[in-house]
Structure 1
Amino acid sequence: MPTNKKEGIIFTTLMCFLMVLGMSTYNLWLHHSLTLKELLIGFIPGFIVAFVLDVFIVGVLAKKIAFALPIDPQKKLPMILTISTLMILGMVTCMSLFGILMQNGLSDAMLSQYLTAWKMNVIAALPLQLLIVGPVSRSVLVKIQNA
């Protein structure tokens, strides 16, 4: 885990970049429009919104909730899994709404579209975060800390 502000910014930026890249690719693939142009168009605003949400809202709440739970903060794996899961749930909740609004705007079918998007995004975000992005980001952070 990051031990200072610089490491925190690097870690958050890398985590956010990889998750937005992975989830943008996944969502474009679901909608059969996986092109580099579409990916770049959606990636930049998605990354900005995700980064702001992570730093100022979701990350703060996820950590506050995780440390309030009866989990020993000295045990790293349970704490990492708890924070990661809470982050996934918070970010999927927010970013699914962002995606629906960006793709369709306000519509009568928005609630149905949102619920479908939320379910599909949780299915992809959980393993992406827990098995790929989280471990890669922590590995990079360890290399920075040991440099």
Structure 2
Amino acid sequence: MPKNKFQEVIFTIIMVFFMVYAMICYNIALNTGALTNDVFLAAFHELVIMGPIAFVLDFFIVSKLAFACAARMVDLRNSHPFSKILAISVASVAFMCPLMSLAATILFKNAGNQFVAVWLQTTAFNFPMACFWQLIYAGPIVRFIFRHIFRENESVSETVTE
């Protein structure tokens, strides 16, 4: 969907917000044992830390890896758009989830000598939520917002066809 670097930055910022905020809420709810109204406010404090980490990882590393993996799963030039979106989304989650779980483990978990076990458990708990959230909610919402921010000039195509 993004057609240039500026659009890639905007798309990544929007996606990072929707994915990271939801995953922070999910993790706080797991840690406290309940999803309360306070969770939604508390998540903004962690978003300030985790958002930039997610942006840097996604924009500079993961997006390239995800596209390369997706290209191995489907023909990105000739496949149905849904197949492309699915392949890219799944590959993105497959890379981002362990990396963001690693960051959360380092910054928030106080894992001590159980670091590897805590990181693996965090990744295992996060992966199903991240995958479903990405495919069913965040991805479609972000693409909808992005399409409306970067609408192609419809009047030009109408003039050409007349």
Pair in the same fold by TM > 0.5? yes
Q: In 1, distance between residues paired with 2:142 and 2:109?
A: 32
What's the CA shift string for 1:86-134, capped at 9, x where partnerless?
1101110100011111113461111111111111100110110000010
Structure 2: gaps spanning 5 or more residues: 153-162
Describe the shift of the 1:36–1:138 C-alpha distance in structure 2 as closer, same or farther (beyond 3 A). Answer: closer
- Mean Cα displacement is larger for which, 95-104 or 3-12? 3-12
Aligned to 1:41: 45
Contact 2:111 2:118 in 1 (8 A): no
User: In 2, distance between residues paired with 1:19 and 1:70?
Assistant: 23
Please give the TM-score of this superposition, normalised by the length of structure 2.
Answer: 0.83
Provide the residue aligned with 1:19 in structure 2: 19
Distance 1:97 1:81, change over 3 A: same
Query: What is the aligned partner in structure 2 of residue 94 from structure 1?
Result: 99
1:62 aligns to 2:101 (yes or no): no
TM-score, length basis structure 1: 0.91
C-alpha contact 2:13 2:55 (8 A) present in aligned 1 = yes
User: 1:135 and 1:146, CA in 2 relative to 1: closer, same or farther beyond 3 A?
Assistant: same
3-state DSSP class of the match of 1:126?
helix
Q: CA deviation at 1:36?
A: 5.0
Percent sequence identity over aligned pairs: 30
1:71 and 2:74 aligned: yes
Q: Deviations over 1:47-95 (max 9, x none)?
A: 010000001111111112222x151213211111111001101110100
Match of 1:116 in 2: 121
Q: Distance in 1 between matches of 2:75 and 2:44?
A: 41
| Partners of 2:90 and 2:66 in 1: CA distance | 9
One-letter identity of the residue aligned with 1:110: F
What are the Cα deviations for residues 25-45 of structure 1, in whole angstroms up to 9, with x where unaligned?
000000118545532221111
RMSD: 1.7
Unaligned runs of at least 5 residues, structure 1:
none
Distance in 1, matches of 2:129 and 2:65, equals 22
The Cα offsets for residues 1-37 of structure 1, whole Å up to 9 and x where unpaired, read as: 1112222111111001110100000000001185455
Deviates more, 1:34-43 or 1:3-12: 34-43
SS at match of 2:32: coil
Distance in 1 between the 2:93 and 2:73 partners? 20
Larger RCO (alpha carbons 8 Å, 6+ apart) = 1
1:125 is matched with 130
Q: 1:107 to 1:88 in 2, by over 3 A?
A: same
Shift of the alpha carbon at 1:146? 1.9
